[in-house]
C-alpha cells in the first residue's frame, strides 16, 4: 500500500514539474507541426520564428492561437493595431515584418485581404495568431509585389489594440 501511495505522489510531482516547465520560456504550440502547420516560437513581445513544414500547403484557411489574448476581441468592424510577420509557403522566406521597422501597423480589418477578415475575428488583444491563407483568400492569381501568383501566405499576427 505504501509503495502505491509513493508512486502516486511521484507521479503527481512529475506532472506538476512538467506543467510548470511548459509555462515558462518560449511560447510554442507543439501541435501545429503535427497538424501540418508551421511551427511558431518566440518569447511574447518578440518577433516570431516561423518554421514551415515541408509538403503541400493547406487548401483552406487555417488558424491557430499561439498565445491566447485576454483583451478586447476582434470583430469584423474592428480597427486593429498589430505586429505581423509574413512568410510565403513556397519560398519559405519572410517577405515582410512590422517587427523589422519596430512600428506596428494600424488599419480597419475590412480593408485587408479576405484571409485576415475571416481569420482574425475572435482573436483578442495580447494574443498571437497563426494564419495560413490560401491564394484565393490572399493575393490570388496576380500576386502582389514580392508575393507571387497563387501563393499560400503564412502570417503570425500579434494583436496589440482593437477599437
Give φ, ψ of 117 to 5 degrees.
-60, -35
pTM of the entire predicted model: 0.80
- What fold is seen in the domain 26-162? Chitinase A; domain 3 (3.10.50)
Q: 3-class SS at 59?
A: coil
Tens of pLDDT along 103-144? Answer: 999 999 999 999 999 999 999 999 999 999 999 999 999 999
Angle at 53 between CA 146 and CA 46, to 5 degrees: 70
Amino acid at each position: 500500500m505504501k509503495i502505491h501511495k509513493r508512486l502516486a505522489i511521484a507521479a503527481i510531482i512529475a506532472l506538476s514539474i512538467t506543467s510548470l516547465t511548459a509555462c515558462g520560456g518560449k511560447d510554442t504550440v507543439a501541435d501545429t507541426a503535427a497538424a501540418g502547420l508551421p511551427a511558431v516560437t518566440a518569447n511574447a513581445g518578440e518577433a516570431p520564428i516561423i518554421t514551415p513544414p515541408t509538403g503541400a500547403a493547406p487548401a483552406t484557411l487555417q488558424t491557430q492561437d499561439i498565445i491566447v489574448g485576454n483583451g478586447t476581441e476582434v470583430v469584423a468592424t474592428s480597427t486593429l493595431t498589430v505586429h505581423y510577420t509574413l512568410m510565403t509557403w513556397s519560398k519559405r522566406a519572410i517577405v515582410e515584418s512590422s517587427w523589422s521597422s519596430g512600428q506596428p501597423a494600424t488599419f480597419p480589418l475590412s480593408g485587408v485581404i479576405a484571409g485576415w477578415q475571416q481569420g482574425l475575428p475572435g482573436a483578442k488583444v495580447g494574443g498571437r495568431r497563426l494564419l495560413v491563407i490560401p491564394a484565393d483568400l490572399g493575393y490570388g492569381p496576380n500576386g502582389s509585389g514580392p508575393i507571387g501568383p497563387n501563393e499560400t501566405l503564412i502570417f503570425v499576427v500579434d494583436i496589440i489594440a482593437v477599437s
